[in-house]
Amino acid sequence: MTALCGYALVHTGILPRIQWGGIETLAYRLLIPAVLIKSIAESELSLSEFGGMLVALLLALGVSGMMVLGLRWWQTPEKLSNPVFTTLFQTTTRWNAFITLAAVDLIVGPQGLALVALAIAVLVPLINIANVLVLAFFGSAQEQDTPVATHVLKNPLVQACAIGIAINLSGVPLPNLAMQTLNLIGRAGLGVGILAVGAGVNAERLFRHSTALVFGVVFRMMFGPAIFLAVATGLGLAQTEVLMGIIVLVGPAASNGYILAKKMGGDADL
């Protein structure tokens, strides 16, 4: 319903699409990072306790990504262009922190947020590195002189994860006023993030048929979750951990992948 409200705000003209750029930037650079900092700073970062979930997610995303990479050598450029290939890779490996955090907050609550925050802290840097490398190698853009490390280090989500981990491992809690501020900003972040996702929906594009689009959606919704469930079952993960992993893998891809595709020569429209 929140995403639908964002869509309605745009298409009724109450808040035209052209005015959403600043809102998206605010959510990406301040509101969502506040959620991550607070969640990670307050969470129990115990790899011994939650390492199994991270292993299952890493295997699911890693194997899915390798399968898509295999398409590049299996299909000729005439059948699968490099820009389309990079978008399929992003679709398979990226996940939307806005949607995931909001869904987990509603379904599970604080415990779920801590688990997802831990997953973000570990996976977001790795996913960004992998996607930037693929786009740098296969993208069609000429402006690819920026080092991969710079792309990753400038990512607000990566920075927020690093800050949260540093606070958590230091053992020194933030002052109560600072935590209250992060909490207030973060509560706004989840709602605004979902509104922005809804505002960006192009209904016409949803009904355009293309082999690449169908493949990307089916592969993401079925293959990755199937691998995760198999590994999770083998490791005997708790129900909450399994639920968190499934929410991560079946949710939409991260919207910042569109910006990355635009800048580095991927198929942003796809």
Question: pLDDT grade, residue 134 (50/70/90)?
Answer: confident
To which residue do tokens 């080092």 refer?
147
What is the pLDDT, as a whole number, of residue 258? Answer: 66
d(CA 56, CA 63): 11
DSSP, residue by residue, 160-207: HHHHHHHHHHHT-PPPHHHHHHHHHHHHHHHHHHHHHHHHT--HHHHT
To which residue do tokens 């606070």 refer?
167
Question: pLDDT grade, residue 44 (50/70/90)?
Answer: low
How many Cα atoms occupy the beta-carbon half-sphere of 89 within 13 Å?
A: 32
Q: How many of the other CB atoms lie within 10 Å of CB of 13?
A: 8
In terms of Cα–Cα distance, which of 159, 143, 116, 117 is closest to 260? 143
Query: Which segment, 42-56, 179-193, 226-240, 248-262, is predicted with the most confidence on average?
Result: 226-240
What is the pLDDT, as a whole number, of residue 49? Answer: 64
Question: pLDDT grade, residue 148 (50/70/90)?
Answer: low
DSSP, residue by residue, 124-167: HHHHHHHHHHHHHHH---S---S-HHHHHHT-HHHHHHHHHHHH
Range of lowest pLDDT (38-42, 134-138, 167-171, 200-204): 200-204
Look at residue 222 and tell me whether its pLDDT is greater than 70. yes
Instruction: Compare 28 and 49 and report the one with higher pLDDT.
Output: 28
Q: What is the pLDDT of residues 234-257, one digit of tens each?
A: 988 888 888 888 888 887 776 666
What is the pLDDT, as a whole number, of residue 230? Answer: 92
Full set of structural domains in the chain with CATH:
2-264 (1.20.1530)
Measured in degrees and rounded to the nearest 5, phi and psi for residue 44 equal: -90, 95
Q: How many of the other CB atoms lie within 10 Å of CB of 269?
A: 12
Query: Are 116 and 104 a contacting pair, CB within 8 Å?
Result: yes
Question: pLDDT grade, residue 208 (50/70/90)?
Answer: low
Instruction: Compare 204 and 32 and report the one with higher pLDDT.
Output: 32
To which residue do tokens 């910006």 refer?
259
Instruction: Compare 173 and 110 and report the one with higher pLDDT.
Output: 173
What's the rounded mean pLDDT across residues 155-160? 79
What is the pLDDT, as a whole number, of residue 205? Answer: 62
d(CA 246, CA 95): 11
Q: What is the pLDDT of residues 253-265, one digit of tens each?
A: 766 666 667 666 6
% the chain with pLDDT above 90: 5
Residue 265 DSSP SS3: coil
Instruction: Compare 185 and 187 and report the one with higher pLDDT.
Output: 185
What's the rounded mean pLDDT across residues 202-230? 76
Q: What is the pLDDT of residues 51-94, one digit of tens each?
A: 788 899 999 988 988 888 887 777 766 677 788 888 888 888 88
Q: How many of the other CB atoms lie within 10 Å of CB of 217?
A: 13
Q: How many of the other CB atoms lie within 10 Å of CB of 233?
A: 11
Query: Are 251 and 194 a contacting pair, CB within 8 Å?
Result: no
Question: pLDDT grade, residue 145 (50/70/90)?
Answer: low
